[in-house]
Structure 1
């Protein structure tokens, strides 16, 4: 019996050693290959499929079910609920609960008919964005009322809309006070899909809208598709038009949930990189895809750690919650924690099937001079951005480091990667407000953006894989950055700086030939020089001994100073 036991132990040890021998530890030379092989996009896609079923507002049923779905998957991957964790647990998560100041909201059902017509004008079953957020229910049997078309919004006060349904081609929020509170209209029906949604092509799309939460009047608003708007206008041209409207919504007290998963660093656990993905929004690409990608990134990292393939020196954090609000709280409520957040990245609309949606994958950069002087290949999206000032710039290596990583994946996967100047509007903004380096990963233009046609059929598993894979490659590099990595990033940054100055030189020559002032062109070249020179210095924060890289930084600064001086002299010759 003893001999059999010894033999069994020897065989077991041999099996374990063979198994461990087959596991490859991640390194700078193989990390791209391994993550590309391991990140399938399956969990990201399946999670997005689950989340997009719901019209998600913080505190409502769909939002909360999404939170607990994430928690369930994290536990499957080995994450331990923080309150049950020990000091030895590397993978932990928590669900933060806070009372909501205002009640939450969810749509249930709605139908709109033109009286005298057999078919419906709109119905919730096919247009789940038709009920404006914060709308109350109509009486059970609905409301029948004449439609008053308000062509000139400035003259709405001159119209008798009491007891009527106000129809206007504008936002329902903007006319709520004049139509409902002052005019005593029974409800609002509106249309205002922007042109980038291609409404005459996507005739059934409705972009979601909202009205103020009004506990006194308890009114409602309906948003229309292009097709419905055209039908209603045609009916009005023939004469008096009455609509029968039934709306069912739920408005109730709830709580705000945020879920945070931490993968604790082994050497510098207080330092961290945070990925933020918001849950609220009604669509698939926006932003069930961000939720799904973040979850697969967390789960795959947990697998690597369990198999002893990867050990982060710094902490990796994933945050899921209410857009901007949850991230803003995370960087504000704990000043010590915020001090050591080295990087923040927003995952928002990261799974698009661009053959269907249009647009391309974009890295929205931290504020750099392209947000002031947008020219050449730098272009704002249709989402739009306001012109910034030099004092708003955020010089840092993160922009070009991530662009380089994503361009590499683009070549590998034959995938188009673009950039856009800073515009704001997502979870990268709270990081930047706290002077934490941050960018946005997203897609635009999307012809189904914020519409009820943003469904799972517009999501690409390949895109989910490309974004998640590259985001992890970049994260692992930063989390374990050392002197070698810092010098590599500095070299890449220097190359990017030289390329940028040469591009701006070409643009400045064109501008001068078109009559623009020399002083403006010198200001632009100087701004880019300063931005990169300050960005060089940020690489010293990648490891503790800053002196090691200071000489390299000074060399890069001198090179860029020299190149910019030559460019300015050349521009002066041409003037």
Structure 2
């Protein structure tokens, strides 16, 4: 049966059609809050409504509305962008004709010309000490929102951003995500250039030259931007299995995440063809639900609505985010990102990974005895950064299929030549086959239990093999919170804040003073503190009340790292100050 499902879906999955879908979606500049994002959603919806076997629904929310932790975002469209070096010689550094990433997303329009001053990271007032930036254009590589917020108070006339650590000719994707109120106050245009051009300007400054740059941006704001979520449901039953992908991000970029959203759309078409031709039957035990939304800003209101208004129950989710890359070009590995260990759910995970591995195993060993996985593949502990984060906050076990690292990530060089449609197909077919097997009861209980036991043993052993020897020794001596007697009067913490991702913009709004902000930024500069503070610890405390020593145990168990209790205590104090957690005395 396993082979039959994989074979059938593979036969009806068209690589040519996948490329056509990608070619259409890549034309839209799918910035959150843009009209092109709405047009992309209309295209996805129209393609789904042409299918015969799916029930298609559109959920519409507003970018102008607060959704728990997520603030409103201004509607924004880009028409034109030019960045030109005027002196000491004339040269177009970048333009919308080369890439629409040339304008920082949500920048106000403007036409400015001025001398460039390099401020390094540019995120703190200290970075501007002894620098005259008044009526000049600032060149910086720090977080654009922070730089914009700090330098706007100093009389600058324009912003030029670049990114360190990316390919030198790549123009980065950067954004401001301004609220409507912030957008009304914003008057200074912000553009991006490649690292090569940025270093050239810095070199001019070091030689005593005074480079002059002109920034021209034609953009417009509007307040009625729509968040469109498209849902396509197959089968019957109260329980739902979700496969989802975000369809936002800049025009011309492919792997993040046209690869996931297009593969999901072609997978739906594959199911539709197979069912229409009688090669498969619609699942009766559970529904398979495919969902497309803007990242975070779509998944949060969708799940708030879905979990409060619907009688159905979402039991598992699969996030497709960057799944069809040529590994030999981007340098990536297929990562299966698991839910956190404290959620302790492996039943659907094991089945999905079994089908995925089978779909990715094309070749055989030297002696032709066993199949071997034909791509770089790894199974990893929970990591954040995409819509599975939101599903997990609703206690829905979800995994992410993702290719990382990617040397072209969030740049204009994340282009169609990096796409591997065969790999995208194999991932899509593997996931679709697993969801169909689960929803149709294709596997008997004994086989399911065998798969689950094998997967649990694999995860337990493989995770520990990644830890260093000292961590393994430390884990052996640490006492699990589940087996520890609770002492009367002990202090624990639980999450009481809203759902959503704790972004830097949210942190800025929660800070009561500049000094408080400086302290937070200093704390978050240390890796992996930022992820623990913004993702892992809030998620952990959503699911259980824990003391600092218990939080330390879970971090060590999950990631094999030793974070001292003082640092954890500092993070807890900050979350407490933000009124996101509260102290509980047992």
Instruction: Give the shorter-chain TM-score range.
Output: 0.7 to 0.9
CA distance 1:312–1:415, shift in 2 (3 Å): same
Describe how 1:66-465 pairs up with structure 2 within 5 A. Answer: 66-78=40-52, 91-101=54-64, 102-116=73-87, 117-138=89-110, 142-151=111-120, 153=124, 154-156=126-128, 159-180=131-152, 182-193=153-164, 195=165, 197=166, 199=167, 202-210=168-176, 212=178, 213-237=182-206, 238-266=208-236, 268=237, 270-282=238-250, 283-308=253-278, 309-313=280-284, 314-334=286-306, 335=308, 337=310, 340-368=313-341, 392-412=342-362, 414-465=374-425
CA distance 1:505–1:317, shift in 2 (3 Å): closer
3-state SS, counterpart of residue 214 of structure 1: helix
Taking the aligned partners of 1:77 and 1:57, their CA distance within structure 2 comes to 28
Taking the aligned partners of 1:491 and 1:233, their CA distance within structure 2 comes to 61
3-state SS, counterpart of residue 361 of structure 2: helix
3-state SS, counterpart of residue 418 of structure 1: strand
Taking the aligned partners of 1:172 and 1:489, their CA distance within structure 2 comes to 49
Q: CA deviation at 1:228?
A: 0.8
CA distance 1:498–1:257, shift in 2 (3 Å): closer
3-state SS, counterpart of residue 448 of structure 1: coil
Q: CA deviation at 1:111?
A: 1.7
Q: CA deviation at 1:250?
A: 2.4
3-state SS, counterpart of residue 200 of structure 2: helix
Please give the TM-score of this superposition, normalised by the length of structure 2: 0.71
CA distance 1:526–1:470, shift in 2 (3 Å): farther
3-state SS, counterpart of residue 30 of structure 1: helix
**Structure 1 unaligned residues grouped into runs of 5+:** 1-26, 79-89, 369-391, 529-575
CA distance 1:77–1:240, shift in 2 (3 Å): same
Taking the aligned partners of 1:127 and 1:471, their CA distance within structure 2 comes to 33
3-state SS, counterpart of residue 325 of structure 1: coil
Q: CA deviation at 1:485?
A: 3.4
Superposed CA deviations along residues 529-555 of structure 1, whole A, max 9, x for unmatched, are: xxxxxxxxxxxxxxxxxxxxxxxxxxx
3-state SS, counterpart of residue 14 of structure 2: coil
Superposed CA deviations along residues 304-325 of structure 1, whole A, max 9, x for unmatched, are: 2222322211212111121123
Taking the aligned partners of 1:466 and 1:504, their CA distance within structure 2 comes to 25
3-state SS, counterpart of residue 244 of structure 1: strand
CA distance 1:495–1:155, shift in 2 (3 Å): closer
Q: Which residue of 1 aligns with 2:569?
A: none
Q: CA deviation at 1:353?
A: 1.7
Taking the aligned partners of 2:34 and 2:464, their CA distance within structure 1 comes to 53
Superposed CA deviations along residues 154-190 of structure 1, whole A, max 9, x for unmatched, are: 142654322111122322222212211x102111112
2:5 to 6, 31, 34: 31
Q: Say whether the 8 Å CA contact 1:367–1:422 is kept in structure 2.
A: yes
Q: Say whether the 8 Å CA contact 1:172–1:188 is kept in structure 2.
A: no
CA distance 1:505–1:527, shift in 2 (3 Å): farther
**Structure 2 unaligned residues grouped into runs of 5+:** 65-72, 364-373, 484-586
Taking the aligned partners of 2:288 and 2:209, their CA distance within structure 1 comes to 63
Q: CA deviation at 1:220?
A: 1.6
Q: CA deviation at 1:109?
A: 1.9
Superposed CA deviations along residues 243-279 of structure 1, whole A, max 9, x for unmatched, are: 122111122233324243333424x2x2111111111
Taking the aligned partners of 2:162 and 2:400, their CA distance within structure 1 comes to 30
Q: Say whether the 8 Å CA contact 1:48–1:292 is kept in structure 2.
A: yes
Taking the aligned partners of 2:134 and 2:383, their CA distance within structure 1 comes to 41
CA distance 1:420–1:345, shift in 2 (3 Å): same
Q: CA deviation at 1:440?
A: 0.6
Taking the aligned partners of 2:378 and 2:458, their CA distance within structure 1 comes to 16
Rg (Cα) greater in structure? 1
Q: Say whether the 8 Å CA contact 2:45–2:230 is kept in structure 1.
A: no
> Structure 1 residue 46 and structure 2 residue 15: aligned?
no
Q: Which residue of 2 aligns with 1:570?
A: none
Q: Say whether the 8 Å CA contact 1:364–1:423 is kept in structure 2.
A: yes
Q: CA deviation at 1:298?
A: 1.2
> Structure 1 residue 521 and structure 2 residue 438: aligned?
no
Q: CA deviation at 1:211?
A: 6.3
Q: Say whether the 8 Å CA contact 1:274–1:341 is kept in structure 2.
A: yes
C-alpha RMSD over aligned residues: 2.7
Q: CA deviation at 1:487?
A: 2.5
Taking the aligned partners of 2:398 and 2:466, their CA distance within structure 1 comes to 28
CA distance 1:236–1:471, shift in 2 (3 Å): same
3-state SS, counterpart of residue 64 of structure 1: helix
3-state SS, counterpart of residue 426 of structure 1: coil
Taking the aligned partners of 1:279 and 1:468, their CA distance within structure 2 comes to 16
Superposed CA deviations along residues 484-522 of structure 1, whole A, max 9, x for unmatched, are: 4332121122123334555577678x72xx5x6745225
